[in-house]
Structure formats: structure tokens, C-alpha cells
A and B are shown apart, each in its own frame.
Chain A
Amino acid sequence: MKRRNFIKRTSLATGGAFLVPQFLKAFETTLSQVNSYKKVVIIQLKGGNDGLNTVVPFRNDLYYQNRGNIALQKNQLLKLNGEVGFHPSLAPLQSLFDDGHISIINNVGYPNPNRSHFRSTDIWQTASDSNEYLQSGWVGRFLDVTNSKPYRAIEVDESLSLLLKGNHQNGLAITNPKLFHRLLNQPFFDNVFNNYTNDKHLSEHNLGYLYNTMIDAKSSASYIYEKTKTQSSSVDYPKNAFGKQLKTISEFISSEIDTQIYYAGLTGFDTHVNQKNRQARLLKVYAESIDAFVKDLKRNNTFDDTLILTFSEFGRRVKQNGSNGTDHGTANNVFVIGKNLKKNGMYNNLPNLDNLDVNGDLKYTVDFREVYATILDKWLSIDNVKVLNKNFSNLDFI
């Protein structure tokens, strides 16, 4: 039998006696209202973006000594001030910078840095110490603490990263609301989950957890699909995967769904070999997409309430390697983009290339969790200790 017939037959087998969908009821509880209109968009440049060739200290001789073949020359750069310039691929971001909508935080890292992509990504996503293995992400714990529905945090991807996994609640991974909705609303699933009547004896049982997770997923998918189906951005985004992700996020934001945190990523920054062209292409993709995204937000009057955070799991070694590339490093710059930044431009001093660790890597001066703490406290209005489990001091970029 063909699959299509199979589904038809099995769905007919119930005789069409649907009960009132359980999941519709679940939606009466609302999110806590405090600042729930504030959005954070988190972007990871995966593979370890070379921060030194992104925000370039063109007055520093040490930069040119260490970066013989791959250094960017002063006349190529987009000057931000008397000593530092953007990589030429970041041209689309220059006006944002000039308008005071970008804050660049230098030397962000953590003690005893780990140079594995996977491990360091885990550390950034879980907000752990480098010798601590947490199994929940800080965004996931934000969902736990705020007692949220899964769709309060959305990753625009096909599978969910640790970042969005809490101890009790997980976020949602979704690329296409229509497909996701269709996938979850097949006749068979409808039959199984619409018939589920929260049996009391199952509420504490893992089976109850499975049913409820699926019902949550179904209701989230329906909610997002219904809310977003008429949304379509009128801004032209670059036609690549990253542009598409940001376009989806913009459509989600303008549809006014109750999502506060979005996560997207651009991969390929692991530039061990022939870094120059590759990084130039990737940064172009990044900058053009962000530019379109911000224009879109502005057009929809949502830029005021949206903060964009860009990080990489680590920066790269100060000295280039023998293959015109760079190896895994440590501290890196983080970009914060938003309308009402308290401190824009260069948030703090450029990295000290004269004081490196034993591997020849930058020493961090700002703990990445201070960036999170600031966003949690000042933007999302939630005590950072509750999410980060340790108290981190706030920065004043917002």
C-alpha cells in the first residue's frame, strides 16, 4: 500500500470522531508581562571567527608582525576611529556603527579557555566554567525560571541546540512554520494527541511527559503557524541560508508572537587555511544579512525592542600559521547591535597583543557571562543569578 493511502485509511479508521483539541486550552495562560516585548537575537559565528581580522587594530605593529600574509592593510579598512577599522566586508554595517547602534566589546572570554569547537560552544551555550559540565543552556534555564512555553525561545534550525535546553523546559527549533505545523498535524498524531485526556495517574509518569511535550509542540506549531502565516517581509535579504534565517526571525518578530529569544548561526569560520578569501565571503554574508534585518526591523518599528548579540565560540591565535590561516584561539570580540545603546562604538580597550598567554593567545578581560548577565538584568528584567547560578556583574552597554 502506498503511504498516502495508508495515512488516509488509518485516519479514517477513527470515524472522524475528534474530541475538542486539548492543546487549544493550554493557551489561556500567558507569559509574565514584565518586558516580554523585549527581544534578543543571538547569532553564533561558528567555527571561531578571527576577531583580529574583523575589528582590526591598524596602528598596532604587533598586529602586522604576527599577521604577515593575512594582515589587512590600513587603506583597505573602514576606519572606525584613529586606531581601529572594520574588515572591508563589514561595509554594510558602517552606517549602523556611525549611528551609534553597535557596541563592540573586546576580549570577551573566560578563564582557562578551551580550544575545542564543541567544548567551547558548550561553555558559551551553557554559561559554565571551563571545567564544569552543565547539561542545560542559559536560554533554556531562562525558560525554566520564567515558566515559559517552548516558543518563548526559538532556534531557526532543524534541531535544538543545548543553548535552548533547560532543566524543565526546552525551546523550539523551527525553520518553516508551515512545514513544522504540517508535520505535527498529521491525521495519526491528531488522533493520538487529541484523544489524550490528561489521565491523572500519568501526570507524574514519563508517559505524561511525552504526551505533554508533544501536545506542547503541536500547540506551539499551530500557534506560530496561525500567527505568522500572513507575514511576509518586504525587505530583500541576501539569498543564502543565513539571510533566510534572519528573514524568518524578522517575520516572527513582526507577527508579534510571544517569543523573546531567537538563535541563529552562520558556520564556516574555521579558517586554518587560506583565511583571507573565506573570511571575507563569510563576513559579507553576515553583514549584508544583518543590514537587511535591521532595515526590516526599523520598517516594522521593532528595532527599538530588539537586541542583536553576535559571538563566536573563540577567537583565533594572534600569530598566523604556515598555511595563511589561523589556529584556534581564545578571547574574541562580541557585537551588540541595538537602537538605544548606552555605550556604543568601542566598549572597552582593544586586545593587548603584547601580553599573550603561553599559547600566544589573547587574555580575556570581560567574562562572556557578564554580557549575558547584563542582557538578563537590564533587557529581559530577570535576575541573572537565577539563570546563571552565579552572580556576574553588569556591563553598561545597555
Chain B
Amino acid sequence: MKTNHILHLYHRIGFGLQPEEIKRLQTKEKAEVIHDIFQASKKITPLYIDTSFTNNLGLKDLKNKKKRQALMKVSRKKIRELNGIWIDRLNKPSEILREKMTLFWANHFVCEDKNILHVLQYNNTLRKYALGDFRAFVKAISKEAAMLKYLNNKQNKKDSPNENFARELLELFTLGQGNYTETDIKEAARAFTGYNHDFKGNFKLRKRKHDYGKKTFLGETGNYFGDDIIDIVLSKKQCARFICKKIYSYFVNDKIDNDKIEELTTIFFTDYIIGNLMKHILSSDWFYDETNIGTKIKSPIELIVGTHHIVPFTFQKEKQELLIQKLLGQILLLPPNVAGWKGGQNWIDSNTIVTRLRLASVLLNNAEITYSDKDDFKAVITDFKKRKRKRKTFIKTTTDWNDFEKKYSNISNVELVDVLITAPISNGTKELLKHYYKLSKKEFCIQLLSLPEFQLC
């Protein structure tokens, strides 16, 4: 495989590739490389965090206000920890494609919760189905405790229906706006009545709250349950099209090519197996078209993890790991709303672009950043004089430059450009780089990581 194709592939299904790996793959054929990627992602390794503090607890403990508050406090702390555990996983994944897909699905089936048990279970459900059967996936999601809470389906009862989940299921998860009516939403909501969960997060149907009556949904009538609604939705080709479009814009190019979408839709619609769809995309010739290489704006997480792939670093403070994500506009496990992060050019504004371009200096070279706590609604302010809107800090990291020197020892500064950057480089910058070639490899690397070109993959 060609070097730039290998790099393109691994930037999209992962976060870049080490020189040693590039070298190993150069002698292989594309089909073999892709086969190996899928083999490696067959396994499912759930994220793990110790939740033993909930072992002897049950629903009755949640009814006691004091106990509940104490529990929630620990839970919130655990969720912050889980953010770090997830990032660590992305830094050193064995099932690289599965992990990248998990990240994708987390921004498709968008959900947020405060209960660590349910957050962890939800996250691992995303991981489990990431390459699997989309049909089973949607059904599983509809029964996840975190989702039942997030979109109020817990409150969806026969006598007082709540349409929130049904609406988002159709609008954001499967069909897209304009492909159903308000009546379809109402009827679908009835099919999902009575859904609930136990303390641990297992699905429970409250039979007395379920509406067993006939529903008419997308032109079909029956005594439907939620799963039946999902089957009807998936029988529409539009559902496959909607998902293919989203996958294409995430993995291929945010400029949509309708012919390609139709090609993918036909394939996905036959079995709804996500892995098959992905294999088709990655094996196609058009995936490697020049117009698709180095065109995507990295998400903050891709940027942070991508940087880590080149020069490993660890945050000394968990808080600062979250702060960096916040400043860049993407905190894992804390999506802005059910529509998720919009992505693409929406990551970029005058402030985030500066933070992005300075990221390498901040993370690897101890540069200063300023930030504020403006969105802290709960802030209790005792001394207004002391409280400043603007704060300055240094992000404390431990940086492993030795690892970098070792990995890139056989690579010259000139070669480093092509190994680290897949985007075309603007003419002015190309000229500029010539002046920097004589810098040490470490310095040169920081310069490269500070270029707008490094923001793309």
C-alpha cells in the first residue's frame, strides 16, 4: 500500500500511525491491511471503572435525599474519571476501528447521564454494537437506562405519553427530518410506553404503563411494541441512507457525494451490518481519492489523541485534562445536546483556532493558557473581588520526548512533514518550512503540530 494511503486510512479509522507500523504495512496489499484491521476489531474490550460503591445499594437508597446526594457526588467524580479512562483507551487501543466507531456512535446516539453505572453500561453498549447489527443496536439503545432518562422515555406512560424519545429516534437516530409526520411520532411514542429500568440499569417493562392498543405508524397498523416500530423504521431505505450519509461525512468527507451515498445505501440496506458497510468504504478506490485525503477538520478529541500518538504525554491533573477538552469545545461524556457536536467547520471559531494552534505548545512545551468559568451555573461566589473572569494557568503534563526520539529516529525533518501531515500544504507554508528544517527534530515537530495543516486529517 502507498504510504499516503496507509496514513489516510489510519487517520480516519484511528488517530495516525507510528513510523514502524507504516513501514510494516508498506509491503502489504490494501485488502490484507483492511482484513487485519477488521480481525483486530473483532474483540470487544469494555471500558472498566470500579463501581463497587454501588454493590449494596438499591432503589430504596435513592429515595433518601441525603444518600442520593452522596451517591450522586461519587458518581459525578467517577464520570470525570471515566472521561480519562476513555481517552487512555483511545491513546492505546487494540481494537482501533471499533474504538473509532464507538466515538462516532457516541455522537450519533447522543446521551448524557449522571449515574456512573448507567453511563458505563451505555458506553459499552456503543462499543459492543459499533461494528455489528444496526437493528439490534437501535433496539438496545432504546432500552438503555441512560437513554430512557435522557430523552424522558421513563416518563412515557399509557395515560400520559411523552414523545421526546420517539421524536429524536426518528429525527436524529434513524430517518432524519421530514420523513415522518407528527402523528407518526405520537403513535411511535405509544409503542414505547412503559419502558423503564432497575437500579443497576437493566431494562424493565412496566406492563401496566404500556399502551397495548393498536398503533398506526408510517402507514402500518398493529399492536406494536417499541421493537416493532424500529423494524418498520428500518424497512425504509431512507433509514439506511440517513446513516450512510452520516458515516460518509464522518469517515470520508463532509462534502457529500450523492452517488456514493446511494452506492452505500444499497449495500447497508441489505443487511444493516455496520462492519460490512465500513469494509466496503475502506476497500473502495474512491476512499483514497486525493479529494478525500487530509480534508477533514479533526475533532478536539482527534487532535488531542492524535498529538498523543506522536508525543506521549500525561496530564498531572485530571481537571486539566477536562479543561483542555472544554476549551477546544468537546468534553467526552458531556455532549451539548441530543443533536451532538456538529463537527467540521463548527469546531472552529476565532478562539478555538488559537487554542488549537497553540495546543502543541501548551501540552508539550509548557505554554500558558487563559480560561474562564463562565458556564458554571452552580458557582457559589463568596468574594466577588477575588473572582476573576479570566484565569491563567499552565497545563501540567509529563511529556515523553524520548519515546518520540526513538520512534522517529530514522526519519529526517523533511520526511517528518509527510508522516505527520496528510493535508496538502499551502504554498507559503511550504516555503516557510524550508527555513525550519535545520531545527532539532523536537522543535520542528512542535512547529508542524502548530500549523493549520495539522488540524486536518
Binding site for B on A (CB under 8 A): 1, 3, 6, 9-10, 13-15, 19, 46-48, 117-119, 122, 131, 133, 135, 150, 156-162, 165, 170-173, 175-176, 179, 183-184, 188-189, 191-192, 195-197, 199, 201-202, 205-207, 209-211, 213-214, 216-217, 220, 238-242, 244-245, 265, 267-268, 270, 278, 281-282, 285
Q: Is B455 an interface residue (CB 8 A)?
A: yes
- Complex Cα spacing A267 to B367, Å: 29
With A217-B350, A241-B389, A267-B377: A202-B432 Cβ-Cβ less than 8 Å: no
Pair B348/A13 contact, Cβ less than 8 Å: no
Q: Is the CB of A267 within 8 A of B376?
A: yes
Nearest chain A CB to B303 CB, angstrom units: 12
- Across the interface, do B432 and A195 meet the contact criterion of CB distance under 8 Å? yes
Task: Return chain A residues, CB-CB under 8 Å to B426.
Answer: 196-197, 199, 202, 207, 211
Q: CB within 8 Å of A: which of B354-405?
A: 354, 357-358, 361, 365-367, 370-381, 384-385, 387-390
Partner of A46, one of B351, B377, B389, B427: B377
Is A268 a contact partner of B451 (Cβ separation < 8 A)?
A: no
Tell me the bound Cα distance from A297 to B344 in angstroms.
40
Contacts of A48 in B (CB 8 A): 377
Contact in complex: B447, A188 (CB < 8 Å): yes
Check if A165 sits within 8 Å of B349, measured CB to CB: yes
Confirm or deny: B12 has a beta carbon within 8 angstroms of a beta carbon on chain A. Answer: no
| Complex contacts, B431 vs chain A, CB 8 Å | 195
Q: How far is the CB of A285 from chain B (nearest CB, A)?
A: 6
In the complex the two chains form, is A270's CB within 8 Å of B377's CB?
A: yes
A183 touches B390 (CB 8 A): no
B295 at the interface (CB under 8 A from A): yes
The CA of A220 and the CA of B367, in the complex, are separated in Å by 23
C-alpha spacing A245/B342, complex, angstroms: 30
Q: Are B342 and A192 in contact (CB under 8 A)?
A: no
- Identify the closest chain B residue to A128 (Cβ): B337
Cβ contacts under 8 Å, A13 to chain B = 435-436, 438-439
Q: Is the CB of B367 within 8 A of A3?
A: yes
Q: Which residue of B lies closest to A243 (CB)?
A: B384
* Contact assessment for B353 and A213 in the assembled complex, using a CB-CB cutoff below 8 Å: yes
B389, A1: Cβ atoms closer than 8 Å: no
Q: Is there contact, CB below 8 Å, between A170 and B350?
A: yes
A172: chain B residues within 8 A (beta carbon): 350-351
Taking a contact as CB atoms under 8 Å apart, the answer to whether B370 and A158 are in contact is: yes
B338, closest chain A residue (CB) = A133
Cα distance A240–B361 in the bound complex, in angstroms = 31
Measured between C-beta atoms, what is the minimum distance from B311 to chain A in Å?
A: 15
Complexed CA–CA distance, A267 and B455 (Å): 33
Whether a CB of chain A sits under 8 angstroms from the CB of B11 is: no
Contact (Cβ within 8 A) B436 A10: yes
Chain B residues near A209 (CB-CB < 8 A): 297, 345, 348
Query: Does B19 make an interface contact (CB < 8 A)?
Result: no
B→A interface (CB under 8 Å): 164, 167, 254, 294-297, 326-327, 336-339, 342, 344-346, 348-354, 357-358, 361, 365-367, 370-381, 384-385, 387-390, 423-424, 426-429, 431-432, 435-436, 438-439, 443, 447, 450-453, 455-456
From the candidates B373, B380, B443, name the one contacting A6 in the complex (CB within 8 A): B443
Give the shortest distance, in Å, between B207 (CB) and chain A (any CB).
26
Q: Is the CB of A158 within 8 A of B372?
A: yes
Tell me the interface secondary structure of chain B in the complex. Answer: loop
Q: Tell me whether B295 and A206 are in contact (CB under 8 A).
A: yes
Report if A160-B338 is in contact (Cβ < 8 Å); known contacts: A241-B389, A268-B380, A268-B381: no
Q: CA separation between A122 and B373, bound complex, in Å?
A: 17
Q: Of B378, B389, B439, B443, which is within 8 A of A270 by CB? A: B378
The 6 closest A-B pairs by CB, nearest first: A195-B428, A217-B350, A170-B349, A240-B384, A241-B389, A210-B452
Q: How far is the CA of A270 from the CA of B429 in the complex (A)?
A: 49
**Given known A-B contacts A158-B370, A159-B327, A217-B350, A131 and B378 have beta carbons under 8 A apart:** no
> What is the distance, in angstroms, from A88's C-beta to the closest C-beta of chain B?
18
| Nearest CB on A from B352, distance (A) | 8
Pair B432/A192 contact, Cβ less than 8 Å: yes
**In angstroms, how far is the closest chain A Cβ from the Cβ of B344?**
8
> B296 — which chain A residues lie within 8 A by C-beta?
206
Give chain B nearest CB distance to A313 CB in angstroms: 8
Min C-beta distance of B253 to chain A, whole Å: 10
Across the interface, do A188 and B374 meet the contact criterion of CB distance under 8 Å? no
Knowing A6-B365, A175-B390, A270-B377, say if A159 contacts B427 (CB, 8 Å).
Answer: no
Task: Determine whether the beta carbon of A157 is less than 8 Å from that of B297.
Answer: no
Q: A135 CA to B110 CA in the complex, in Å?
A: 15
Looking at the assembled complex, report how far the CB atom of B174 sits from the nearest CB atom of chain A, in whole angstroms. 16
Q: How far is the CA of A321 from the CA of B379 in the complex (A)?
A: 20
- A224 to B: closest C-beta gap in Å: 11
Please indicate the chain A residues that have their CB under 8 angstroms from the CB of B373 in the complex.
267
Complex contact A14–B387 (CB within 8 A): no
A67 CB, min distance to chain B CBs, angstroms:
22
A225 to chain B, nearest CB (A): 14
* B423–A197 CB distance below 8 A: no
Closest to B328 in A: A159
Interfacial chain A residues near B254, Cβ < 8 Å: 206
Contact B295 A205 (CB under 8 A): yes
Q: Give the distance in Å from the alpha carbon of A6 to the alpha carbon of B326 in the complex.
A: 28
Specify which chain A residues have a CB less than 8 angstroms from the CB of B346 in the assembled complex: 135, 165
Q: Roughly how many angstroms separate A76 CA and B428 CA in the complex, as a whole number?
A: 68
- Quote the shortest CB–CB distance from B306 to chain A (angstroms): 15
A157 lies within 8 A of B424 (CB):
no
Look across to chain A and name the residue whose beta carbon is closest to the beta carbon of B365. Answer: A3
Q: Is the CB of A211 within 8 A of B452?
A: yes
Could you tell me if A189 and B357 are in contact, using CB atoms closer than 8 angstroms?
A: yes
Q: Is B374's CB under 8 angstroms from A265's CB?
A: yes
Other-chain residue from B349, B350, B367, B424 in contact with A207 (beta carbon distance below 8 A):
B424
Chain B residues with CB under 8 Å of A192's CB are 428-429, 432, 450-452
Q: Which residue of A lies closest to B337 (CB)?
A: A133
Q: Give the shortest distance, in Å, between B151 (CB) and chain A (any CB).
A: 11
Distance to closest chain B CB from A142 (angstroms): 15
Contact A46-B390, Cβ < 8 Å, known A10-B443, A135-B346, A199-B427: no
Complex CA distance for A58 and B384, rounded to whole angstroms? 30
Q: List 30 A-B contacts (CB under 8 A).
A: A6-B443, A9-B439, A10-B443, A14-B435, A15-B435, A118-B336, A118-B377, A133-B337, A135-B342, A157-B374, A158-B371, A159-B327, A159-B352, A170-B349, A172-B350, A172-B351, A196-B429, A197-B427, A205-B424, A207-B423, A207-B424, A207-B426, A207-B453, A214-B354, A217-B351, A220-B350, A238-B384, A240-B385, A244-B389, A268-B381
Contacts A1-B443, A196-B429 given; does A159 touch B353 at CB 8 Å: no
In the complex, which residues of chain A have a beta carbon less than 8 angstroms from the beta carbon of B354? Answer: 183-184, 214, 217
Most buried by A among B342, B353, B388, B424: B353
Cα(A214)–Cα(B295), bound, Å? 17
